Chains A and B, each alone.
Chain A
Amino acid sequence: MSKRFNATTRYRFTSWTVGRQGRDPATACRGGRSHRAVVPLAVVSVLVAGAALSGCGRQPDSDTYTVLNSSTDETYHRWDAEAMARCGKQLGVTIEQQSVPAAQVMTKSLRMASSKSLPDIVQFDASEMPTFAEAGGLIDLRTLGLGTGDIPQGIVNFGSYKGTYYGAARSVNTLALFYNKDILAKAGLKVPTTWDELRESARTLTHGKQYGLALSAGGAEDGVFQFTPFMWSNGGDERQLDGPRVVEALDFWKSLLKDHSLSKSTVSWTQADVNDQFMAGNAAMMINGPWQVETLNTKKSLHWGIARIPVPKAGDKSVGPLGGAVLTVPDTGDRAREKTAGRIVACLSSEKEQLTYALNSWMVPANEKAAAQWRKRVPELDALADQVAAARSRTAEVGAGWSSVSLALQSAFQSALTGESSTSALKRAQQRATSGN
């Protein structure tokens, strides 16, 4: 990042000095009044335009490899930098990271693809990877020598598109039920495991300023991510949004809101907002992911526990969404560099690095052996490891069409939670999701 910045400033500086030098000879030799101002102006504008255009190209340094990721948080950026330094040392190369906000990774990569300046490795959110793969931008990691022997099939699928393995996950996450141990103990309640129990407990725990449950039904991917465990555990299918199983799941959300067990603000909350509410004691339970653990642990007086997300009926399987990022090697046309990039991905997603990263970030290692060790080290998140083992990828069924499904679904559950019937809201969503493609 700093490298790019320097290059731009240097260009700007150059064009400015040349422009100024250009002014004196012009004034000296012509003497024509009109030319005096015109020539330098024209020179400057041409130079500025030239600098702006040539600024697009990037000359790769032979031993420096670039990773584009979304580690803009200081902690993540540091953990990544440390891992890259270790792998770089092992492979004898320098690895640099360029971090942009998560929402910009895709658009930035596309722009870089059109200007033929793709980085050597891109870390995509797994739900976005199929879009880039479908456009033909990624290299099959198996051809670069990466194995999938120790990775559970679900996580291999998570990094695959149409059967080709494009993305190596270092760690994965999913959603679970977080609960405030003290509040539940005081009310003499057990951790709910079915929808009925969840509804009952949430109702009992709602009083005064405290809501029984907090979840995010915000108008972005956050809300959709949170809806999927309810939809999938009930047997719903994202290809049939108006199916009865999806309607039931949405009706269950509506019933929680009707009971006042959920705040009406649920429709405007992100998952971070939900975590804030839980930490402030405004919610006895919440649906959230392990990336909040770091923040939760900063409040020493808060005793929280974690459990699988309740299922419709006892004995049903709790299916959550798989979340997380995958490391991919974009097709840059330079086979030798791609090979090395493959080795870097292999190193960053090796058992040892996965464990380090997972312990830092509280997420579950993708590799089975690393996950087994991780369970021993972090027993309090055991429930999460179970949930991950049964979790499902959002793009497994609809691939690159996920963004249309997601937008349609957001609008549907927001309409339903603010008054419309689940059936009609989801019927419209189904139309919208299918007309989008």
Chain B
Amino acid sequence: MTTSTVTVTAPSAARQTSGASDPRRLRLRRRLAQWGFVAPAVVFMLLFFGYPLVRNVVMSFQHYTPKTFFTGEAPFNGVDNWSKVFQDALFGKALWHTLVFTAGSLLGQFCIGLALAVFFSRRFPLNGVLRSLILLPWLVPMVVSGIVWRRILDQDTGVLNSFLDTIGLGGHTPWLTSPGMALLSVILVNIWIGIPFNMVILYGGLQEIPKELYEAASLDGASAWRSFRSVTLPMLRPVITVVLVLGFMSTVKILDLILALTDGGPADATQTLGTLTYQNSFVQLDFGAGAVVGNVLILVSAVFAVFYLRANRSEGK
């Protein structure tokens, strides 16, 4: 105000410009407003994401045991937890199972989901009813699905084996009881759970593709397969990225389904990073080791997140 050099004659004009005339104050105000809008989000992120994340990393370098809860003391022990976890043969196994589980689940969910989405984007009677029925697995809580599937897949009394027996296909498959089969069975159940999500999002994406493109393609003499490859897939790419990334995030950290289906067994055949963290932290109460596995899981997700952001940026250009 004091440095104002504007020569003003009319009082009405003066009132109008008195606030706005000072560029510094204006800027400050705008800055403040901007930060004000950002603040709740920042506070939220720091409190609920930043703090636990940092805490988890710190914890992985600490000797954190039940005693810590009483004394509050968790002495730093360097990389002891890390070397202990990495030397454990179970960690390598769990990492491998996690990768196989994630890749297998995503592949199955995505392919079947896409096929169903393409199928339902045609018009035919009962389309809506069938589409909503397919959503059911999504509505059932994960633990309920797990328990029901555990019964279905029981080797002696399960419905699936009885059915296979009736149609003359053996019927003694050790779905959950053989270490060689269990991981595959768990993946199959997870595919069943994931199909609706993939289908819904991809179906939405298909609706966005302009019909003219298909008309043009057919005028050019493109076959159905060709127009799927050259029109549908490229146009769906942004949606596909989202589906795969969200699918990855929810699959890589899998815990509840496996606990309900196999408890990580038989003979650790379905141990994943998620179940290993759980076992370390909440069964053995070795929170340091649990934090190490948790960090590895975060790291894996972070690598994937970077890929996602990259893909998104190139799409934006």
- Using a CB–CB cutoff of 8 Å, the interface residues on chain A facing chain B are 32-35, 37-39, 41-42, 44-45, 49, 103, 106-107, 110-111, 113-114, 131-132, 134-137, 209, 218-220, 263-268, 277, 280, 282, 331, 403-404, 407, 410-411, 414-415, 417-420, 432, 435-436
Contacts and interface: CB of A to CB of B under 8 A. Distances in A.
A142 B123 CA distance: 78
B271 to A, nearest CB: 9
B47 interface: yes
Given A111-B69, A420-B267, A42 B36 contact: yes
A259 to B, nearest CB: 16
B150 interface: yes
A219 B37 contact: no
A337 B295 CA distance: 41
Given A41-B40, A137-B70, 9 more contacts: A131-B66, A136-B67, A219-B264, A280-B157, A407-B284, A414-B265, A414-B266, A415-B267, A418-B266
A136 B70 contact: yes
5 pairs of A and B residues whose beta carbons are closest in the complex: A34-B33, A219-B265, A38-B36, A414-B267, A415-B267
A268 B70 contact: no
Contacts of A419: 179
Contact of A403 (B32, B36, B68, B284): B284
Contact of A265 (B47, B156, B264): B156
A33 B29 CA distance: 10
A111 B156 CA distance: 42
A42 B39 contact: yes
Given A219-B262, A411-B267, A264 B174 contact: yes
A411 B276 CA distance: 13
Contacts of A218: 263, 265
Nearest to A331: B70
Contact of B66 (A32, A135, A265): A135
Contacts of A418: 177-179, 266-267
Nearest to A219: B265
Contacts of A33: 33
Contacts of B150: 268
Given A45-B44, A268-B150, A107 B265 contact: no
B187 interface: no
Contacts of A209: 156
A35 B47 CA distance: 23
A49 B263 contact: no
Given A34-B29, A264-B174, A415 B69 contact: no
A111 B66 CA distance: 10
Interface string B159-181: 00000000000000010111100
A280 B157 CA distance: 11
Contacts of A220: 263
Given A34-B29, A35-B36, A131-B285, A268 B47 contact: no
Contact of A282 (B40, B156, B179): B156
A410 B266 CA distance: 9
B289 to A, nearest CB: 9
A110 B74 CA distance: 14
Interface in B27-62: 29-30, 32-33, 36-37, 39-40, 43-44, 47
Contacts of A136: 67, 70-71
B65 interface: yes
A280 B156 CA distance: 13
B67 A268 contact: no
Contacts of B47: 49
Given A32-B29, A404-B284, A267 B70 contact: no
B109 interface: no
B80 interface: no
Interface in B3-29: 29
Contact of B40 (A42, A107, A219, A263): A42
26 contacts: A34-B30, A34-B36, A37-B36, A41-B39, A45-B39, A45-B44, A103-B282, A110-B69, A111-B69, A114-B72, A135-B65, A136-B67, A218-B265, A219-B268, A264-B174, A264-B177, A265-B154, A267-B265, A268-B177, A282-B156, A407-B284, A414-B267, A418-B266, A432-B88, A435-B84, A436-B284
B136 interface: no
B279 interface: yes
Contacts of A415: 179, 267-268
Contacts of B178: 264, 418
